[in-house]
């Protein structure tokens, strides 16, 4: 048996592909050996081998911790050097501040402010790569599913920290002290939270109370854990260089939006001088109100060639943003009429759920015809008409790790009776 066990342990490591710190290799081997011996009602101590340290045994049995340690450190070190060489001065300054605070074990609460395209995601990647290369745990989350996809191996803040949906001033995250998640947080060196202005302040406050409780440090924010927050209170779209003839107009529009975000445009309202302003939209940024105005806008964004031969790379750069659902429906219908091909319509199955025994009354008050005519934000209409090749957007998270989350854009590739198939383009 003694000759057979090492071969089985080696095979186990080969299949699991776990990247092991050389200083802890002996303990990992002992752990694998302990599992094999346990099947024969034996222990490593029966063969005169040392016991596995309890703290390491706890880590090995915690799936969440093992996931956060399962990185190829040699590859991360090489990537770290590449990322450091590409930083600009401001990114380097913030990077040095974060890494220095971690090395000195000093808590820092940092907010990185910048609009889209200023390199915040690149900075998050550089910081996480540097810390993970040292075998440290850093949790990077984002407020939206799309943003979380840019942070490898990470999730949305709600998913990662189990933040309640119905928040109050006393809310705490659904994380108990003696759980794997609590153990993971205790071993975490830093938390990076992107797009944090999109969340209610109660989300951060709930996490603050939870961390103080887990760390048993009530007087220090977040239990003494370093936090790096990022985002843009203006939430404007980035300007893409080289956009063709309309580049100058787009640049002027982007600059005007930034001025609105900075509060330098507009006349303060007398009823609330500090929070409300009246803003006049320049005529050059408006679409003239004519019968053909919407059609001209659609033709400019989605020309006939793009609708005839949809291309994922081109559609990534094309979008029409509307403030009202009714405008979205009008534009969608106009695009559907322009797109060639057979149209398929899917209808919802609406019904009101009664409480207790008032089923008859509920059906009387909310007939199916009434429910069918309702159009709620974040939900498709009662009749959803599609054609193969049209662009669509996913409204609800299905599989964040696989790229299917709120805001994922796709091209319809197949329309079946109970299935819509699409190709991810973002």
Examine the domain organization and report whether 184 and 268 are in the same domain: no
**pLDDT, position 239:** 47
Examine the domain organization and report whether 264 and 359 are in the same domain: no
Examine the domain organization and report whether 111 and 220 are in the same domain: yes
CA distance 3 to 14: 18
Examine the domain organization and report whether 391 and 277 are in the same domain: no
pLDDT digits (tens, 9 = 90+) for 281-338: 888 777 778 888 888 888 888 888 888 888 888 888 888 888 777 888 888 888 888 8
* Residue 68 resides in a domain: no
Examine the domain organization and report whether 355 and 335 are in the same domain: yes
* Residue 415 resides in a domain: yes
Say whether pLDDT at 72 is over 80. Answer: yes
Maximum mean pLDDT: which of 194-203, 205-214, 338-347: 205-214
Mean pLDDT of 163-183: 90
Examine the domain organization and report whether 46 and 95 are in the same domain: no
Which of residues 335 and 144 earns the better pLDDT score? 335
Examine the domain organization and report whether 106 and 253 are in the same domain: no
Q: Look up the domain containing 34 and give its range.
A: 5-61
* Residue 67 resides in a domain: no
Examine the domain organization and report whether 84 and 227 are in the same domain: yes
* Residue 406 resides in a domain: yes
Which of 203, 231, 259 represents a domain boundary (last residue)?
231
Number of domains in the chain: 4
Examine the domain organization and report whether 253 and 272 are in the same domain: yes
* Residue 409 resides in a domain: yes
Examine the domain organization and report whether 88 and 166 are in the same domain: yes
Mean pLDDT of 59-80: 83
């Amino acid at each position: 048996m003694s000759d057979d066990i090492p071969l089985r342990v080696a095979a186990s490591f080969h299949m699991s592909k776990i990247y092991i710190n050389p200083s802890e290799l002996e303990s990992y081997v002992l752990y694998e050996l302990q599992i094999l011996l346990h099947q024969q009602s034996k222990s490593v101590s029966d063969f005169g081998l040392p016991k596995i340290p309890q703290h390491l045994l706890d880590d090995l049995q915690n799936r969440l911790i093992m996931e956060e340690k399962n990185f190829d450190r040699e590859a991360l070190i090489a990537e770290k050097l590449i990322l450091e060489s590409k930083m600009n001065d401001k990114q380097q300054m913030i990077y040095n501040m974060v890494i220095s605070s971690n090395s000195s074990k000093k808590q820092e609460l940092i907010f990185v402010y910048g609009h889209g395209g200023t390199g915040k995601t690149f900075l998050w990647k550089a910081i996480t790569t540097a810390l993970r290369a040292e075998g440290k745990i850093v949790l990077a989350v984002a407020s939206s599913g799309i943003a979380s996809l840019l942070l490898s191996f990470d999730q949305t803040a709600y998913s990662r920290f189990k933040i309640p949906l119905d928040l109050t001033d006393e809310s705490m995250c659904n994380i108990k002290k003696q759980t794997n998640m609590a153990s993971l947080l205790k071993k975490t060196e830093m938390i990076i939270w992107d797009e944090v202005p999109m969340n209610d302040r109660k989300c951060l406050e709930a996490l603050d109370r939870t961390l103080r409780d887990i760390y048993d440090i009530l007087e220090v924010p977040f239990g003494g854990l370093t936090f790096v927050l990022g985002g843009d209170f203006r939430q404007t779209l980035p300007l893409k260089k080289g956009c063709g003839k309309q580049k100058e107009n787009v640049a002027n529009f982007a600059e005007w939006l930034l001025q609105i975000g900075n509060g330098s445009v507009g006349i303060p309202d007398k009823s609330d001088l500090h929070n409300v302003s009246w803003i006049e939209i320049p005529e050059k940024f408006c679409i003239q109100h004519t019968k053909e105005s919407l059609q001209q806008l659609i033709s400019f964004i989605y020309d006939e060639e793009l609708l005839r031969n949809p291309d994922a790379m081109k559609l990534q750069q094309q979008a029409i943003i509307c403030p009202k659902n009714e405008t979205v429906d009008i534009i969608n219908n106009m695009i559907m009429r322009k797109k060639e091909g057979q149209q398929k319509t899917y209808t919802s199955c609406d019904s009101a759920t009664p409480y207790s025994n008032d089923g008859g009354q509920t059906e009387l008050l909310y007939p199916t015809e009434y429910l069918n005519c309702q159009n709620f934000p974040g939900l498709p209409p009662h009749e959803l008409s599609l054609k193969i090749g049209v662009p669509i957007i996913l409204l609800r998270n299905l599989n964040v790790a696989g790229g299917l989350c709120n805001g994922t854009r796709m091209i319809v590739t197949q329309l079946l009776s109970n299935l819509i198939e699409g190709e991810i383009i973002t």
